[in-house]
Structure 1
């Protein structure tokens, strides 16, 4: 991954918010991101597909549900940039995180949306 590719991939607010939430939580399903971002499923899925296509996220399927996590094969410089961005922007993500927290513990979230 090159710097232009990374920053182009993250040039949309929805993609940055989704990526940072996934990094913060370790793994999120589409329904959790739809709830946290307060956006439509098609829009969130489109942005997740772009994050996957550029190599930032990977997905795994469990039945009909798709879960996203940070690509473990990313270069260390990319991981450092993402971690620094997350740590410096917790206030910016506060509303998204609050919505996600309203879903309750992960097993409750999975039962309620997935």
Structure 2
């Protein structure tokens, strides 16, 4: 049964709500999806949180295995995924690698979530 055949439903009754802002462009959606995909793993989310919770939003790879029951190569793989998604940058200092959160990427994620929830109008006003 089509909508026009349903009792009390008029085809003309549906009108789109006016836009209050532009929707996310396709290119931006692809970029953000890659970042969200990197964050979709609980281990990667914990690693990012662990780095972000330290002074300077930076941590040595040697400190990141605390509380995460995985081998060092597996942790390094997850850090690589976060780095490739643009969430982290790394720097070698002597024999250790330090990871630092990229605040601009976190801000973009925050802005995208605010816009999706409808709260962006107040933030950007």
Shared fold, TM over 0.5: yes
Between Structure 1 and Structure 2, the one with more helix by share is: 1
Correspondent of 2:109 among 78, 81, 88: 78
Task: Compute the displacement of 1:72 (Å).
Answer: 4.0
Alignment-derived partner of residue 60 in structure 1:
91
Deviation string 1:62-110 (CA, Å, 9 cap, x unpaired) is 00100101024426232568xxxxxxxxxxxxxxxxxxxxxxxxxxxxx
Could you tell me the TM-score, scaled by structure 1's length? 0.62
Deviation string 1:47-68 (CA, Å, 9 cap, x unpaired) is 0011001100001110010010
How much is the aligned-residue C-alpha RMSD, in angstroms? 2.3
Please give the secondary structure, in 2, of the residue aligned with 1:69: strand
Alignment-derived partner of residue 53 in structure 2:
24
Could you tell me the TM-score, scaled by structure 2's length? 0.57
Structure with higher RCO (Cα < 8 A, 6+ apart): 1
Deviation string 1:1-36 (CA, Å, 9 cap, x unpaired) is 633122101111110000011111111111111123
* Paired residues of 2:87 and 2:106 also in contact (CA < 8 A): no
Alignment-derived partner of residue 7 in structure 1:
36
For the residues of structure 2 that align with 1:79 and 1:63, how far apart are their CA atoms? 34
Q: Which runs of 5+ in 2 are unaligned?
A: 1-27, 113-125
Q: Which runs of 5+ in 1 are unaligned?
A: 82-114
> How many residues matched?
82
Alignment-derived partner of residue 47 in structure 1:
78
